[in-house]
Amino acid sequence: MQAFTTLNGLVAPLDRSNVDTDAIIPKQFLKSIHRTGFGPNLFDSWRYLDTGEPEQDCRGRPLRQDFVLNLPRYQGAQILLARDNFGCGSSREHAVWALYEYGFRCVIAPSYGDIFATNAGKNGLLTIVLDLAQVEQLFREVEQTKGYRLQVNLRAQTVAAPTGQVFGFEIEAALKERLLLGQDDIGMTLERRDLIRAYEQRRLQERPWLFPDLT
Amino acid sequence: MTAKTLYDKLWDEHLVQDFGNGVCLLYIDRHLVHEVTSPQAFEGLRLAGREPWRRGASLAVPDHNVPTRARAVIADPVARKQLQALEQNVKAARIPYFELSDERQGIVHVIGPEQGACLPGMTIVCGDSHTTTNGALAALAMGIGTSEVEHVLATQTLVAKKMKNMQVRVSNRLAPGITAKDLILHIIGRIGTAGGVGYAIEFCGEGVSALSMEGRMTLCNMAIEAGARSGLVAVDEQTIDYVKGRPFAPTGDSWTQAVDAWQDLRSDPDAAFDRTEEIDAAAVAPCVTWGTSPEMVASIHEQVPDPAQEADPVRRAGMSSALSYMGLQAGMPISAIRPDKIFIGSCTNSRIEDLRAAAQVVTGKRLAGNIKQALVVPGSGLVKRQAEAEGLDSIFLNAGFEWREPGCSMCLGMNDDRLEGGERSASTSNRNFEGRQGAGGRTHLVSPAMAAAAGIAGHFIDVREYLCAADAGNAN
């Protein structure tokens, strides 16, 4: 995955709570066996007037002109401002792949679905939690100001508004480190293969019934 | 020693290493695999030249986009490609696999417990959020994403952050005719879809102990709909009885040892929870969701709520948008809502007790004229066989329902079982999100008995009206 250090990005506001991963990427696109190709179908049923099908060329499909990501002022947005419980529901990592491929590098919301947030962290998409009042303020400022951008600094754990106001945010130390380095954690885990083997040997003695071979 | 919750115990037992920064390396005992969230993980392994760590710890099955009839040939070429990819991937990796023609095939969360592949005290993961279902066995069961699927395949571990402990204590018992589905919808209505974010929820109390194992699975299944990555129920006699004799369950001395160890799979009496919610089971009525989030739920005797009465502006906007999507008016009685299609199935409600409950309502009756289609989709080939042995298939067929082959089906409409734009369902599944069952489709979540009753009446109705009538009939 790509490292995340700083971002100066245009902000798009998605003003609804409980945005589920079915809405982020509808089920028909989950039949793909690849990690790419989901960007054009991000928010498919909110973004287009027709129903999208997998492997369809989306250029030329009729757009819902009033959907926020279709408004000219938000073209090229890299930061998605969202509400409570963003990414709830299904575990589909395709939701993160779709957001990333569309161009988003960061989401700001008061809370996230747990699995979505974990998936985001595995793909270099930064999910920032700000409190309700701060998010509310950002929604107001974004809507009032064309070309509204935020500066995100992961190392400093800050989001800076054009007004000069700076919001701090919390992030787990391990996740921060991985995002800054763009690291894959399978390699890191396999460095601990001896620990895993030792654990298995001990459990095999203590709890042999946990190791039935299903083959 | 400090008192521990069931979740604490399961977590501590599976700790390979605590990194000391809130993140741990957790050993995974069982990994369930299906066609939708695994292809990219297998591709990742191949690209990195990695092999699965412990093949026999996984179990793969196709379920999400399989047809529920005429399955010798998969007509949809995109689905076919994905099903073939699963087969090729698991065969190349030599992972245990129930193919489509195997009678043991079914919805991944139904077959795991059914086969005894999921056991008390295990850590269980699957690239599917409803893995929570398996928590009914006092196992730590979590849904994971595809990157994590790859990680588990490669290392048999998960890099995970410990969640907080929530207890949902259910006092008293559900009234006759009220099911685990009504209970969990009621709970989600109370704590909200974000209420459990960051928590593992342990369900306990008389109202939970009194549930059958299948009812507990329904309860834990929808813990994710309350935002919790895991749901749990402690071990009791019912748990042990359920597991005993299942194909992959331990036998002989190993069984005795296991049962002995499983006695500890309950929270210590003085264990501390970060949060506790009290629910009175006796106050739960049959539930029907009216909106596009499972928390938008009412009892059958209530009305569709009025957004104007909601003080919070974000919630008000959410309610208005849901009512507009659902084509409902504030104030109309829930019982006046008329579904077009009935779906009985999904990892929430496709086990034998679910089918029995629905069949009991349907016996000797016919679908109402406004019902365009009614599907019964058993959770596995074995559930299907059991139901047929009991004659449930004939009861459904005689009433006008279709009797299908096992799979996820209309829960998410990845195959051709789906709602068309504007169609309304009474569905025993778990999500009423916009477009979940088909673009433009409108989903009302209910219990199997309530779905069956809606099919017969042509509108939502308190199932107890039918059950009382049936009892009276039997008495005569």
Instruction: Please give the full DSSP string across B368-380, using - where no structure is assigned.
Output: -TT--EEEE--SB
Q: Which of B150, B191, B254, B314 to mutate to test the interface with A (most CBs of A within 10 A)?
A: B314
Q: In this structure, are residues B129 and A115 in contact, taking their beta carbons and an 8 Å threshold?
A: yes
Residue type, A49: L
> Helices B213-221 and B108-115 meet at what angle, rounded to 10?
140
Chain A residues 131-190 with a CB less than 8 Å from chain B: 172-175, 185-186, 189-190
Q: In this structure, are residues B36 and B65 in contact, taking their beta carbons and an 8 Å threshold?
A: yes
Q: In this structure, are residues B334 and B290 in contact, taking their beta carbons and an 8 Å threshold?
A: yes
Q: What is the structure's pLDDT at B258?
A: 98
Q: Identify how many contiguous H helices and E strands chain A contains and give both numbers.
A: 8, 7
Q: In this structure, are residues B301 and B334 in contact, taking their beta carbons and an 8 Å threshold?
A: yes
**Average per-residue pLDDT in chain A?**
96
pLDDT at B7 over 70: yes
How far is A14 from chain B, CA to nearest CA, in Å?
A: 12
**B135-177 pLDDT, tens per residue?**
999 999 999 999 999 999 999 999 999 999 999 999 999 999 9
Percent of chain B with pLDDT over 90: 95
**Per-residue buried b or exposed e for B357-387, using 16+ beta carbons within 10 Å of the residue's own CB:** bbbbbbbebebbeebebbbbbbbbbbbbebb
Q: What is the structure's pLDDT at B473?
A: 46
Of the candidates B112, B119, B118, B123, the residue with the CA atom closest to the CA atom of residue B9: B123
**Average per-residue pLDDT in chain B?**
96
Phi, psi of B310 (to 5 degrees): -90, 125
The dihedral over CA atoms of A148, A154, A156, A159, expressed in degrees to the nearest 10, equals: 20
Contact A185 B159 (CB under 8 A): yes
Report the chain A residue with the minimal C-alpha distance to residue B20. A174
**Cβ–Cβ contact A89 with B under 8 A:** yes
Contact B318 A16 (CB under 8 A): yes
pLDDT at B476 over 80: no
Q: Which of B89, B197, B263 to mutate to test the interface with A (most CBs of A within 10 A)?
A: B197
Q: Where do runs of H (alpha helix) occur along A63-211?
A: 94-102, 114-122, 132-144, 173-181, 185-190, 193-206
Report the chain B residue with the minimal C-alpha distance to residue A27. B414
Residue B130 is encoded by which pair of tokens?
């409803």
Give the C-alpha separation, B375 to B378, whole Å. 10
How far is A175 from chain B, CA to nearest CA, in Å?
A: 9
Residues of A in contact with B421 (CB under 8 A): 51
Give the C-alpha separation, B10 to B415, whole Å. 36
Give the C-alpha separation, B383 to B437, whole Å. 23
Q: What is the structure's pLDDT at B110?
A: 98
Supply the pTM of this predicted model. 0.96
Q: Where do runs of H (alpha helix) occur along A61-102?
A: 94-102
Largest CA distance in chain A: 65
Cβ contacts of residue B297 below 8 Å, gap of 6+?
Answer: B185, B186, B188, B189, B287, B288, B289, B290, B291, B445
Q: C-alpha distances in angstroms, B67 versus B101, B106, B414, B419, B476?
A: 12, 12, 9, 15, 43
Contact A55 B414 (CB under 8 A): no
Give the C-alpha separation, A105 to B70, whole Å. 44
Contact B145 A88 (CB under 8 A): no
Give the C-alpha separation, B190 to B298, whole Å. 11
Cβ contacts of residue B55 below 8 Å, gap of 6+?
Answer: A215, B93, B94, B95, B96
Q: C-alpha distances in angstroms, A162 versus A138, A148, A156, A188?
A: 11, 7, 17, 38
ipTM of the complex as predicted: 0.94
Q: What is the structure's pLDDT at B470?
A: 60
